[in-house]
Amino acid sequence: MAELKPNREREEACALVTGATRGIGRAAARALRASGMQVAVAARREDPLRELADELEGWAIPCDVSDPGSVERMFARFLELAGRAPDLVLSSAGVFSLSEASDVSTEALEASLAVNLKGGILVARSVLPHFLQRGSGLLIQVGSVAGRRPLPGNTAYGAAKYGLRGFHEILLEELRGTGVRATLLEPAATDTSLWDPIDPDSDPALPDRSAMLRPEDVAEAVVFVASRPARVQIPVLAIERV
């Protein structure tokens, strides 16, 4: 692995991406790097994280977003490596499961709430004091169409994503006039490893993978949001497949 170099003398804007080892987070980390940003990538599994950090000439910061201590350590490590708070935080870590309310398992419920809802709030909590002190910064959270539309079978996932949208709407009010911006992305089904355990192509109730968005489509939306002038906020951006 290439030696990690502090960013203190560098000019590039810095991004921190959670859920970066796969899917949307990984595609977005690559796209942000291609757009000229210095990127720190975070997720639980260290080997793919370090491979990606090497590829992006960035930093790998292992983190479990459902663990408050781990999130605080991630942010402290970012400050150490970058020498300052990030300009952009993309909160993409997520887990998915399908079950109706009548048979949702306690494990699936707890995992979804812990990662998709609590994890997003913990990441926001760690970065916002720095953004607010500086009077700038952009927090992009990856919500879902399942946080706006009541999709049957989405008890654990939809409840967390609806909650995340509620949190985001509160955040927009709290951030008004501060110079800090927040965006909620709401992608439709996207062909990532999130679907691997479910095999959507074998279930007629689910979209085929070939009919889903590509992770790169969502990554381009991230770069679009990130490249708006500092005076422009995009509160919510839905991304659909036609």
Ligand X SMILES: NC(=O)c1ccc[n+]([C@@H]2O[C@H](COP(=O)([O-])OP(=O)(O)OC[C@H]3O[C@@H](n4cnc5c(N)ncnc54)[C@H](OP(=O)(O)O)[C@@H]3O)[C@@H](O)[C@H]2O)c1
Q: Which residues bind ligand X (CB under 6 A)?
A: 18-25, 43-45, 63-66, 92-96, 115-116, 119, 142, 144, 187, 189-190, 192-194
**Smaller CB separation from ligand X, 4 or 98:** 98
- For the bound state, the minimum distance from the C-beta of residue 8 to ligand X, rounded and expressed in Å, comes to 27
What letter would DSSP give residue 4? P
**Smaller CB separation from ligand X, 23 or 163:** 23
Phi, psi angles (nearest 5°) of residue 238: -85, 145
What letter would DSSP give residue 135? T
Strands 38-43 and 59-62: parallel
- For the bound state, the minimum distance from the C-beta of residue 6 to ligand X, rounded and expressed in Å, comes to 24
**Smaller CB separation from ligand X, 20 or 226:** 20
Q: What number of other Cβ atoms are within 10 A of residue 225's Cβ?
A: 19
**Smaller CB separation from ligand X, 132 or 207:** 207
Residue type, 87: D
Buried b / exposed e across 16-46, counting CB within 10 Å, b at 16+?
bbbbbbbbbbbbbbbbbbebebbbbbbbbee
- For the bound state, the minimum distance from the C-beta of residue 98 to ligand X, rounded and expressed in Å, comes to 11
Buried b / exposed e across 140-178, counting CB within 10 Å, b at 16+?
bbbbbbbbbeebebbbbbbbbbbbbbebbeebbeebeee
Active site (annotated) includes residue 162: no
Catalytic position from the list 59, 75, 131, 157: 157
Instruction: For residue 124, give both structure tokens.
Output: 């926001």
**Smaller CB separation from ligand X, 37 or 156:** 156
User: From CA 85, how far away is CA 110, in angstroms rounded?
Assistant: 31
- For the bound state, the minimum distance from the C-beta of residue 237 to ligand X, rounded and expressed in Å, comes to 12
- For the bound state, the minimum distance from the C-beta of residue 79 to ligand X, rounded and expressed in Å, comes to 19
Active site positions, annotated: 157
